[in-house]
Amino acid sequence: MTTPVLPDAPASRDGRLQIRAERAAGRPEVAPDEGVELRPAADGKGEGVLATRPFAAGDTVMVGFLVGELSGNDSHATQVGPDRWVRHGGLGPFVNHSCDPNCGVRLNAGQAFDFVARRPIAAGQYLTFDYAMRNFTIDHFPTACLCGALQCRGAVTGWKDLPAARKADYGHLVAPYLRAMDEPLQSPAHHPSVDE
């Protein structure tokens, strides 16, 4: 097993220390019956999370849980509000970005994000989601996107720069705060359609 390689992000000192402490504590463990597994990514760089059984569209593929609040953004932070970031435990942080992802995210009762299948997922496929489903801006990733999707937008962008059609496609499988942030801009007085 290799250690995941994090980009040398300009994270706060506390954030970096926290990542190191978590890594020193060992790899995330997931029961085999959860249907997902950590694997080296297809491109040989880093790692990804693989489905070990089929999932139907709408299935909860992975239940999220939090391991801490953060003082700011870093490369493995999850944005949960305009000025709030948290760290997820388990395999969630290893799910890779795609501009045409097979999963979306749904906030659960523990204020963490579950991964939910947007379409059927076969055993042996990597789980993906769009970082723009959780982050308003992307501050700590290289700008070029290498996801390989036909609809790749060329750069890993946040919700702020996501085309309206993509927002519509993702429906409610995005962080609720992102939808809320769009509301003042898309009030009925200005736009008859929310997703226009």
Q: Where are the beta strands (DSSP E) in the chain?
A: 36-40, 47-51, 60-62, 66-70, 78-81, 84-88, 96-97, 103-107, 113-117, 128-129
Q: Taking contact as CB under 5 A, which single stretch among the options 11-19, 80-88, 148-156, 163-171 is the one that binds Zn ion?
A: 148-156
**How near is the Cβ of 32 to Zn ion at its closest, in Å?**
31
Residue of the chain from 103, 145, 162, 173 that contacts Zn ion (CB under 5 A)? 145
- The minimum distance between CB 92 and Zn ion, in angstroms, equals 19
Taking the least distance from each CB to Zn ion, the nearer of 76 and 166 is: 166
For position 112 contacting Zn ion by CB under 5 A, the verdict is no
> Edge-to-edge, what's the strand order for the sheet holding 84-88?
66-70, 84-88, 78-81
Alpha-carbon distance of 89 to 76, in angstroms, equals 11
Nearer Cβ to Zn ion, position 73 or 98?
98
Confirm or reject binding of residue 6 to Zn ion (CB under 5 A): no
Contacts of 145 (CB under 8 A, 6+ apart): 97, 99, 152, 153, 154, 155, 156
DSSP-derived letter for residue 168 is: H
Nearest approach, Cβ of 84 to Zn ion (angstroms)? 26
Q: Contact between 178 and Zn ion (CB under 5 A)?
A: no
Residue 132 interacts with Zn ion (CB under 5 A): yes or no: no
Is 99 near Zn ion (CB under 5 A)?
A: yes
- Distance between CA 112 and CA 114 in Å, rounded? 7
141 binds Zn ion (CB under 5 A): no
Nearer to Zn ion, 87 or 166 (CB): 166
User: Which of 93, 73, 68 shows the shortest CA–CA distance to 12?
Assistant: 73
Residues making up the chain, counted from first to last:
196
30 binds Zn ion (CB under 5 A): no
Which residues are at the interface with Zn ion (CB under 5 A)?
99, 145, 147, 152
